[in-house]
């Protein structure tokens, strides 16, 4: 995977999650950092980047809810 492709995917995921839950960019970024979403997305990139935004948002939300620091 090219790093540039992952960065675009990460931004897409952050924006989709932010919009879905009505969060600010900073709130979403902080939540992603606190719960390790970046690593999760990087590890799952090959599968996740082929999915639709609704699936990705729900998958990220499920990951956060099951993370020890998840508070969403």
What are the pLDDT digits (tens) for 18-72? Answer: 999 999 999 999 999 999 999 999 999 999 999 999 999 999 999 999 887 755 4
- Let me know if residue 2 belongs to a domain: no
pLDDT of residue 27: 97
pLDDT of residue 71: 54
- Let me know if residue 51 belongs to a domain: yes
Residue 16 pLDDT exceeds 80: yes
Both tokens assigned to 27: 């709130």
Measured torsion, CA atoms of residues 49, 45, 9, 5, in degrees rounded to the nearest 10: -110
pLDDT of residue 68: 79
- Let me know if residue 10 belongs to a domain: no
Dihedral sign (CA 2, 27, 18, 39): positive
- Let me know if residue 1 belongs to a domain: no
- Let me know if residue 3 belongs to a domain: no
- Let me know if residue 9 belongs to a domain: no
How many structural domains does the chain have? Answer: 1
- Let me know if residue 53 belongs to a domain: yes
**Could you tell me the residue range of the domain that residue 38 belongs to?**
19-72
User: Model pTM?
Assistant: 0.87
- Let me know if residue 45 belongs to a domain: yes
């Amino acid at each position: 995977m090219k790093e540039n492709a992952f960065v675009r995917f990460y931004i897409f995921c952050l924006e989709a999650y932010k919009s879905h839950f009505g969060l600010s960019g900073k709130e979403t970024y902080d939540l992603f950092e606190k719960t390790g979403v970046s690593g999760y997305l990087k590890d799952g990139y090959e599968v996740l980047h082929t999915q639709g935004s609704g699936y990705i948002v729900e998958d990220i939300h499920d990951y956060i809810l099951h993370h020890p620091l998840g508070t969403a």
